[in-house]
Amino acid sequence: MSEPGPLSASIIGSFAYLTVKDRLPVIVTRVIDQLYRERINIVDKYGEAATEGCKEVIGRLSQLKNAIQTNKPLELLEATDPLSPCDDSHVWNRHFEEYISTYEVPPKWFTAPWMYVECFMYAHIHESFYLCPALKDFDPFCEQKQKALLESLSATETLAQHVLSVCSSLPSLTQEQLRQHVINLIEISVWGNKCDLSISSGEERSPETDLLVSLDSLRPYILVNHSSPLWQLLVSLPEDQRDIVLVLDNAGFELVTDLCLMMLLTEAGLTTSLTFHVKTRPWFVSDTTHADLFWTLDTLREKGGACSEIGNKWKKYIEDGQWKVCESSFWTTPIPYSQMSTVDPNLYSQLSKASLIIFKGDLNYRKLTGDLDWPTTTNFEQALRGFCVAPLLVLRTLKGGPVVGMAERQAEDLATTVRDWNTSGEYGVIQLCTFS
Ligand SMILES: O=P(O)(O)OC[C@@]1(O)O[C@H](CO)[C@@H](O)[C@@H]1O
Ligand SMILES: [Mn+2]
């Protein structure tokens, strides 16, 4: 079967089109407004040079917004510090040149692949700050990411109490009871992915106070559910081969749900080594950077109650080396994961040692499947196009992009009653590929 083409904004009315036409300009505008509104505080924090810096960045972002809205060609990024992991302008410029040599025209916002242009916008936003010495470390999404956690502390306290209670009862749990608790936290990690500021263009999506009570009613909304084979994989791993990698998605409550799940797997001995991958630049509004992860730990530790207990425990896992935190600029390029072995062989080699790689969220799913316009019944392994680096699991709610591995007629039947089932975030997948 020949492969489908990439999703792009060239199809008027498509989700990609509405994203590029409506949501991306709003995201850029929010950054411009924040710089203007907070310029005094920013100068206080970053020094007098930030006065001119804010003007420069506002100018660059205003040009970016206009370029998107008028479908201008994308531009080359300006190389500044090739030795810095934050400066991968050479990767983007190579991608730009390859596009031109393939299509003989420069990439444009409404015609180039959606994945390329959406990722490029965030790289361009980052570069706008990076080119300004006073503001090179400024995260324009930090305020929104921190607000997202602070406004979900009630749900966090409830979840923390639950996971601490389960962990303290581990010695008395049967295998079946442990399985149920693990699956509950997997499902909570899926629903945590609804709290994503890119899809909402930064509008808050605070979680329900206690997701636990809703799991039974939410389970039918999991359209592909590989919880059982996942459990079988976890309990069948030899004790010395329980290295799990978690490629994180959003900061805020989603990050809390992810770390709660990882805490249970750690305390239950289902993993002996955990590696988290964070982003090296502000990305898709809410994606977790190294700074976000450690701010979250510190905020929980200062909160008191069960939040402090889990914050202290998580910090100790990291200090003891049980949990490792990694960064790779590969995660913030537009390159599909099927090309990782050639584009970033070191990262590929590192991931190949994992017993299980867990990818969170839509964007990871889109990059795993190349953001191609696959039929929903496409076999998941086929859609991975050779990215079989290790057994992998995706936990995501559907907020845009391909969905594969569904049953015949499942998507069509759903669409007769729910028009936006694959973009609303109300549905999710727990999708495993073991390549067996
Ligand atoms: O990876 P995440 O945080 O789950 O979602 C990323 C996302 O918000 O960005 C794109 C829309 O702009 C979609 O892929 C998806 O909705
Ligand atoms: Mn995200």
pLDDT digits (tens, 9 = 90+) for 14-45: 999 999 999 999 999 999 999 999 999 999 99
Predicted confidence at residue 369, as pLDDT, reads 98
In short, whether 190's Cβ falls inside 6 Å of ligand 1 is: no
- Separation of CA 56 and ligand 2 centre (Å): 27
Predicted confidence at residue 206, as pLDDT, reads 59
pLDDT band, residue 208 (cuts 50/70/90): low
In short, whether 193's Cβ falls inside 6 Å of ligand 1 is: yes
In short, whether 278's Cβ falls inside 6 Å of ligand 1 is: no
Q: Which ligand is nearest to the CA of 425?
A: 1
Predicted confidence at residue 79, as pLDDT, reads 67
pLDDT digits (tens, 9 = 90+) for 176-192: 999 999 999 999 999 99
CB within 8 Å of 195: residues ≥ 6 apart = 148, 152, 205, 206, 207, 250, 252, 253, 254, 286
Predicted confidence at residue 16, as pLDDT, reads 98
**Which residue reads 């425990």 in tokens?**
313
Predicted confidence at residue 1, as pLDDT, reads 65
pLDDT digits (tens, 9 = 90+) for 145-165: 999 999 999 999 999 999 999
CB within 8 Å of 348: residues ≥ 6 apart = 340, 341, 389
In short, whether 225's Cβ falls inside 6 Å of ligand 1 is: no
For residue 210, is pLDDT > 80? no
In short, whether 296's Cβ falls inside 6 Å of ligand 1 is: no
Does ipTM surpass 0.95 in this model? Answer: yes
Predicted confidence at residue 287, as pLDDT, reads 98
Global pTM?
0.96
CA distances from 294 to 126, 266, 289, 357, 360 (A): 21, 19, 9, 22, 19
Distance CA(297)–CA(111), nearest Å, equals 41
For residue 172, is pLDDT > 70? yes
CA distances from 74 to 32, 67, 68, 273 (A): 20, 8, 9, 41
In short, whether 200's Cβ falls inside 6 Å of ligand 1 is: no
Predicted confidence at residue 213, as pLDDT, reads 87
pLDDT digits (tens, 9 = 90+) for 319-347: 999 999 999 999 999 999 999 999 999 99
| Residues 430 and 393: beta-carbon distance below 8 Å | yes
pLDDT band, residue 2 (cuts 50/70/90): confident
pLDDT digits (tens, 9 = 90+) for 76-101: 888 667 667 667 888 999 999 999 99
Phi and psi angles of residue 136, each rounded to the nearest 5 degrees, phi first: -65, -25
Q: Which ligand is nearest to the CA of 119?
A: 1
pLDDT digits (tens, 9 = 90+) for 244-282: 999 999 999 999 999 999 999 999 999 999 999 999 999
Positive or negative CA dihedral for 301, 307, 312, 316? negative
Predicted confidence at residue 85, as pLDDT, reads 64
In short, whether 257's Cβ falls inside 6 Å of ligand 1 is: no
For residue 292, is pLDDT > 80? yes
How is residue 335 written in tokens? 């390159």
Ligand 1 closest atom vs CA 19: 12
- Separation of CA 181 and ligand 2 centre (Å): 26
* Mean pLDDT confidence for 36-58: 96
Ligand 1 closest atom vs CA 366: 14
